[in-house]
């Protein structure tokens, strides 16, 4: 069974601090995708990144960076110089394929509520 | 990026009425859409997978006669909550799956807040 664990329920930082959100996953699939989504108070989930299981390169996008390590089954997300607008719930997710290889379903972690204080 | 719309954004209805929620992929075709339910301060719970031109696949514990799903075109899926009751009050979110080559991503709609009185 697929499982995504976000051990940090809530994190509170002061603006300009760096913060890392942890994500650990479990899967028996050799091919899978990992995602991060941001859910601000408005409720809409915003896609941040997709990483496939064969690409372990870390990625940086502006103040965001992601560290994917298959050896520890982790896909951590770091925000550098955090801002108040970064306050949101962040979800890590893992996609699986059904027996037919289509209809990829997402397994979500429970989310981490990040609060960035001015 | 891919855009998914959802309508209505919120709805208040009386117990016993049916409510229809629309999910549209605006700039891409989606053969597969998904319907989720989210309770306050909780994660998303997948309700069903909606496939264009075929019956939806429901997750265990989700009543298919209660939550009717129709995926009539490559850009539209609808969820109808039939005979809604207060316990059906929740935040319903749809997503549409975009497939580019071998890479797939689910893009989410803004959600629909349902309150059943």
Contact B22, B70 (CB under 8 A): no
How far apart (Å, rounded) are the C-alpha atoms in residues B111 and B93?
4
Q: Which of A43, A50, A106 sits opposite B103 (nearest CB)?
A: A50
Q: Two tokens at A84?
A: 């108040």
B92 touches chain A (CB under 8 A): no
Position A9 pLDDT exceeds 90: yes
Residue B44 pLDDT = 94
- When pLDDT is averaged across residues A108-115 and rounded to a whole number, the result is 97
* pLDDT one-digit tens code per residue, B51-100: 888 889 999 999 999 999 999 899 999 999 999 999 999 999 999 988 77
Higher-confidence position of B18 and A28: B18
Task: Sort out which chain A residues have CB atoms less than 8 A from B95's CB and list them.
Answer: 45, 106
- When pLDDT is averaged across residues B26-34 and rounded to a whole number, the result is 90
Q: Look over chain B and give the mean of its residue pLDDT values, rounded to a whole number.
A: 92
Contact A22, A10 (CB under 8 A): no
Pairing of strands A105-108, B32-38: unpaired
Please answer yes or no on whether B42 and A104 come within 8 Å at the CB atom: no
- When pLDDT is averaged across residues A56-67 and rounded to a whole number, the result is 92
B113 touches chain A (CB under 8 A): yes
Contact B35, B50 (CB under 8 A): yes
Q: Look over chain A and give the mean of its residue pLDDT values, rounded to a whole number.
A: 91
Contact A118, A84 (CB under 8 A): yes
Q: Two tokens at A18?
A: 């760096």
> E strands of A1-118, at which residues?
3-5, 10-14, 19-21, 24-26, 33-39, 46-52, 59-61, 64-69, 74-79, 88-96, 105-108, 112-117
Higher-confidence position of B100 and B47: B47
Position B101 pLDDT exceeds 90: no
Contact A64, A86 (CB under 8 A): no
Higher-confidence position of B13 and B31: B13
Please answer yes or no on whether B43 and A108 come within 8 Å at the CB atom: yes
β-bridge partners, B77: B23
Interface of B with A in 14-73 (CB under 8 A): 32, 34, 42-44, 46, 49, 51, 57
Task: Sort out which chain B residues have CB atoms less than 8 A from A47's CB and list them.
Answer: 1, 105-108
Contact B115, B40 (CB under 8 A): no
């Amino acid at each position: 069974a697929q499982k995504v664990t976000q051990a940090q329920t809530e994190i509170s930082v002061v603006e300009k601090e760096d913060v890392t959100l942890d994500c650990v996953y479990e899967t028996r699939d050799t091919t899978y995708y990992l995602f991060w989504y941001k859910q601000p108070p408005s409720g809409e989930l915003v896609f941040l990144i997709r990483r496939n299981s064969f690409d372990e390169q870390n990625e940086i996008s502006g103040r965001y960076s992601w560290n994917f390590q298959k050896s520890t089954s982790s896909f951590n997300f770091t925000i550098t110089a955090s801002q108040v607008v970064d306050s949101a719930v962040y979800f890590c997710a893992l996609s699986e394929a059904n027996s037919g290889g289509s209809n990829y379903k997402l397994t979500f972690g429970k989310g981490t509520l990040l609060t960035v204080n001015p | 990026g891919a855009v998914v719309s959802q309508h209505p954004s919120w709805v208040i209805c009386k117990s016993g009425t049916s409510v229809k929620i629309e999910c549209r992929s605006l700039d891409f075709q989606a053969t597969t859409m998904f319907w989720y339910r989210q309770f306050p301060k909780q994660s998303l719970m997948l309700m069903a997978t909606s496939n264009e031109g075929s019956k939806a696949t429901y997750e265990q514990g989700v009543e298919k006669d209660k939550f009717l799903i129709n995926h009539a075109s490559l850009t539209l899926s609808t969820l109808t909550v039939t005979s809604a009751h207060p316990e059906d009050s929740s935040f319903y979110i749809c997503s549409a799956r975009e497939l580019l080559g071998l890479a797939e991503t689910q893009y989410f709609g803004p959600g629909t807040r349902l309150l059943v009185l």
